[in-house]
Structure 1
Amino acid sequence: MTSFLVAQPAQSAGLLDDLARALFGQPRPPPQVYFVPPAPLSVTVHPKRRQQPRKLVASKPTAPVVKFDPAVDPYWYLDDPTLRRGDIVVTHADVLVFEGRASQSHRASDFTALNRSRLVSKATQQRVGAATGAHTSVPPAGVQTMAARDPAN
């Protein structure tokens, strides 16, 4: 008759430990772990250096400012370099729409009366006409037409 002795896992671990102690001596105890709190952080703040303001260097000269005086020149808008197609110019005599090209000087033929311009919508024509009282295209007495200044005429 054969008999088998089956040991439980917990008992077999103890058996092997006993055997290891007998053969190799007492094992070393596990090393002790100690918690050492870290040293507090230290931060040094230095004031920011004052930066000298940068000197402005103009790379190219600025364009001269054009000043218009309608009291001196009633056709000031003929020399206006800022006019763009569709701009509305209101003078004491009439309301005009610029239909020419952008340039330094313009001709009287570059302008059209507000009520005849196709660049401005009817709604805008009515609003500008109501605001300026430009529902008539007859200039006031004593006012020359702009064709008198146009060098092409």
Structure 2
Amino acid sequence: MVKNNIIKLSIIAALFSPLAHAQWVTNVEDDLFSGGKKAMMIGSVSSENSAIVFDCTKSELTAAYIEMDKTTESISEIPMDLIMKVDGNSPVKLDAALSRRNVQFLQIQSDDSDQLKVLLKQLQGAKSKVLVGVQLKNGEGQNSFSANVSGSTSAVNGFIKACEITL
């Protein structure tokens, strides 16, 4: 329960913070289960009430596009593509799935750690923008958003250090 409240507060703070503040933030905590750290890195996107969220522990790395959803009904997992493009780099297409993250958010999440490390490296050196796209596996239902990269270098550095990620 406390973890969900911390997550919600972190996400709300990132989504609604003034534009003068960093658009990317990392929250690091002790991880009871791994004996190491766990971290959440949040980047706000142009779509209201949504964000890009990277989560990690010493043994797990995931990334998701999340969007506020006022319904609380459960949903079946739906296979999707999560596509991210940082500056002039080639787009990175991730196998992902749409699911409910918690009572307030839906997510399209990927656990492809090799590709996520590529994205983290790109975000670490980002200069202008991140494009985020989601689509069904058949290419239908496409939506795309953009994200500012302000604060991404510092956020990535703290994130990879906390979870001992080698890029």
Which TM-score applies when normalising by structure 2?
0.24
Whose radius of gyration is greater, 1 or 2? Answer: 1
Relative to total residues, which structure has the larger strand share, 1 or 2?
2
